[in-house]
Amino acid sequence: MKIYKYTSLESAVSILKSGGVALSNPKDFNDPNDCSFVQDKKDKQKIEKLITDYFTYKVVSELVSLNKLKLNKSSKAILTGLQKEIDAMKWLLEKHPYFDRIPGFNMIAKMIGSKSKDLDTLVAKAKQEFQGKIDEAVANAKETALISCFSKRNNSILMWSHYANSHKGVCIEYERPDSIDFKDVIYQQDRPYIKMYKAVSYAIALDILGKKETDDEITSHLKETLDPFFVKSTDWSYEEEVRCLYSKTKLPDNAEYDGRRYVLNIGYPTAIYIGCKTAGDELDHLYRLAENRGIPVYFMKESEDTFDVVVDKDYKYKPSTRKKPQGITLIRLVNDINRCLDSKIYLAAFSTSLIVPAICSQVECSEIKDAKERYIKWCNDYLPCADRGPDSIGISYLTGEILWNLKEKLFSEGSIDVYGRYEDFNLNKIVLRIEERKAWDIYCDMLGEGDITTNVTKFCADMIYQAERCFEKHEQEIKALNQLPIEDFDAELESMRECAIMIKRINKIIKGGK
Domain-wise residue ranges, the chain: 329-480
pLDDT tens-place string over residues 4-62? 999 999 999 988 887 889 999 888 887 777 777 777 778 888 888 888 777 777 776 66
pLDDT tens-place string over residues 238-288? 999 999 998 888 888 889 887 788 999 888 899 999 999 998 878 988 998
Weakest mean pLDDT among 38-47, 143-152, 290-299? 38-47
Q: In the predicted model, is pLDDT for residue 441 greater than 50?
A: no
Nearest Cα residue to 55 out of 110, 111, 124, 118:
124
Q: Nearest-5° angle of CA 10, CA 16, CA 21?
A: 80
Q: In the predicted model, is pLDDT for residue 442 greater than 60?
A: no
End-to-end Cα, the chain, rounded Å: 63
- The answer to whether the pTM exceeds 0.75 is no
In this structure, are strands 420-422 and 425-427 parallel, antiparallel, or unpaired? antiparallel
Weakest mean pLDDT among 174-188, 207-221, 355-369, 475-489? 207-221
pLDDT tens-place string over residues 464-508? 989 999 999 999 999 989 888 776 555 444 555 555 556 566 566
Q: In the predicted model, is pLDDT for residue 152 greater than 90?
A: yes
Q: Are 56 and 104 in contact (CB under 8 A)?
A: no
Percent of the chain with pLDDT over 90: 31
The DSSP code for 66 is: T
Mean pLDDT of the chain: 80
